């Protein structure tokens, strides 16, 4: 994998200091390579002991055989934007939206999130979208500094190549802004995610209420922007990711040629490759492959692209993202555990693998010395039931 280990401010302890201890005992611990009956103890936010056996020490929580796993690590989620605009054209106050987003993720077992924010805007036409990321990021970091967030937050800047103002918006961020990921997004119609214009028309027409003529004008505008700005924006976004100390991601690679280009830019992981051929090329290029949990749960892509389950069967799946359904992340890991007959392997796709892809080495596994991000999980049939969520040993869900 090409992802660097993050340095500087991003690699330091990320949350307000915590104190105290918690022990989850008589639990089926999901370790990176196996399950074992035992206990995990966290002190001052860090795992200090992992022991085997069913003993429940005084003051420990008796899990009664429930599983204990690491907290989930989420690299790409549209959930914050959904809270900011709960219906098309309906804005919501940012601070309540961010707190609701934070609480929802905690309730689904996500203890680390890279909040996806679009950079690059279009200021004209029916499909216009305006700048918002710089202001929102400042508000998010202020909430973190105030110690009111339940889980660990980083920034994921979605660099929209097909736009008017990408480089100006990226320039407003600094290495102190906790930008962990910059993804290269090109939503020009007729390629990548939107190869099928009928699918794009269905999506945009519903979201933006466009007539046929307005949709045709929108497509022409985007193609014009890509022709005018595409090469400049792509090169600039790669350079800005380096300046910010962020891991670079590609988005919706469709052909092996696009993967070769991604590898040349130093991409560490590929978000949602749309074909088996692209995923196979990612494997050959040592680029980690990420797919969406909703794709796994639904059994296929809502855009008509490759099935995540098919990639899992071909051993072409490394990381799972909740994408647009936070609660799908843990459920998808359980589904993969059944498919592979290996729950520890499946859990790595939502814990250790995304942490490593993002350059975080202090979390993602039940291991002494790592962050005390823990989940207690029971089962109802083949469905995981969260019974507790701890972020650095502090119960948040």
The count of structural domains within the chain is 1
Percent of the chain with pLDDT over 70: 86
- For residue 204, the domain's CATH number is 3.20.20.140
Tens-place pLDDT, residues 61-76: 999 999 999 999 999 9
166 lies in a domain? yes
Query: Is residue 6 over pLDDT 60?
Result: no
Band (pLDDT 50/70/90 cuts) for residue 188 is low
d(C-alpha 337, C-alpha 374), whole Å: 18
Distance in angstroms (rounded) separating the CA atoms of residues 165 and 239 = 16
pLDDT at 189: 64
- Is the residue at 155 inside a domain? yes
- For 104, the domain range is 71-361
254 occurs within a structural domain: yes
Distance CA 243, CA 237 (A): 10
Q: Is residue 56 part of a domain?
A: no
The pLDDT score that the predictor gives to residue 191 is: 60
Residue 331, domain member (yes or no): yes
| Other beta carbons less than 10 A from residue 393's beta carbon | 23
Residue 3 lies in a domain: no
pLDDT band with cut points at 50, 70 and 90 for residue 203: low
Residue 61 within any structural domain of the chain = no
Nearest Cα to Cα of residue 148 among 112, 114, 102: 102
Q: What is the mean pLDDT of residues 136-149?
A: 94
Whether pLDDT at 97 is above 50? yes
**Per-residue confidence (pLDDT) for residue 228, from 0 to 100:** 72
Q: For residue 30, tell me if it sits in a domain.
A: no
Q: Which two three-digit tokens encode residue 161?
A: 């190549």
Q: Of 124-138, 320-334, 358-372, which gets the smallest average pLDDT?
A: 124-138
Nearest to 85 by CA among 107, 74, 101: 101
Task: Look over the chain and give the mean of its residue pLDDT values, rounded to a whole number.
Answer: 89
Q: State the first-to-last Cα distance of the chain, in angstroms, to the nearest integer.
A: 33
Q: With bands split at pLDDT 50, 70 and 90, how would you rate the model's confidence at 77?
A: very high
Helix runs in the chain, H state only: 79-84, 94-107, 133-145, 166-170, 197-208, 212-244, 256-265, 276-284, 293-298, 308-313, 328-340, 343-348, 352-357
pLDDT at 224 over 70: no
């Amino acid at each position: 994998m090409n992802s660097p280990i993050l340095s500087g401010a991003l690699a330091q302890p990320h949350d307000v200091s915590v104190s105290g201890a918690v022990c989850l005992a008589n639990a089926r611990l999901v370790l990176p390579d196996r399950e074992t009956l035992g206990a995990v103890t966290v002190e001052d936010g860090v795992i200090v002991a992992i022991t085997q056996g069913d003993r429940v020490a005084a003051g420990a929580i008796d899990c009664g055989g429930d599983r204990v796993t690491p907290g989930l690590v989420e690299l790409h989620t549209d959930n914050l934007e959904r809270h900011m605009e709960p219906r098309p054209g309906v804005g919501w106050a940012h601070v309540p939206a961010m707190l609701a987003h934070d609480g929802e993720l905690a309730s689904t077992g996500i203890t680390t999130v890279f909040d996806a924010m679009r950079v690059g805007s279009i200021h004209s036409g029916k499909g216009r979208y305006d700048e918002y990321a710089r202001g929102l990021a400042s508000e998010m970091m202020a909430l973190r500094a105030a110690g009111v967030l339940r889980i660990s937050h980083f920034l994921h800047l979605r660099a929209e190549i097909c736009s008017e103002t990408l480089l100006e918006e990226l320039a407003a961020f600094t290495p102190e802004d906790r930008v962990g990921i910059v993804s290269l997004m090109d939503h020009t119609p007729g390629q990548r995610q939107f190869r099928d214009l009928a699918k794009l028309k269905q999506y945009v027409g519903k979201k933006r209420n466009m007539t046929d003529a307005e949709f045709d004008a929108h497509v022409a505008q985007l193609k014009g922007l890509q022709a005018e700005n595409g090469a400049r924006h792509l090169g600039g976004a790669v350079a800005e990711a380096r300046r910010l100390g962020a891991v670079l991601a590609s988005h919706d690679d469709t052909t092996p040629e696009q993967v070769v280009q991604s590898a040349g830019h130093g991409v560490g992981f590929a978000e949602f490759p749309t074909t088996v051929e692209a995923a196979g090329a990612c494997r050959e290029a040592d680029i980690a492959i990420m797919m969406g949990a909703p794709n796994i749960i639904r059994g296929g892509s809502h855009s008509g692209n490759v099935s995540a389950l098919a990639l899992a069967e071909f051993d072409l799946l490394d990381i799972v993202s909740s994408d647009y359904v936070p609660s799908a992340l843990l459920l998808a890991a359980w589904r993969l555990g059944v498919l592979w007959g290996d729950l520890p392997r499946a859990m790595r796709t939502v814990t250790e693998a995304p942490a490593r892809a993002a350059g975080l080495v202090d979390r993602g596994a039940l291991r002494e010395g790592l962050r005390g991000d823990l989940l207690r999980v029971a089962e109802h049939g083949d469905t995981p039931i969260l019974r507790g969520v701890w972020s650095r040993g502090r119960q948040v869900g």
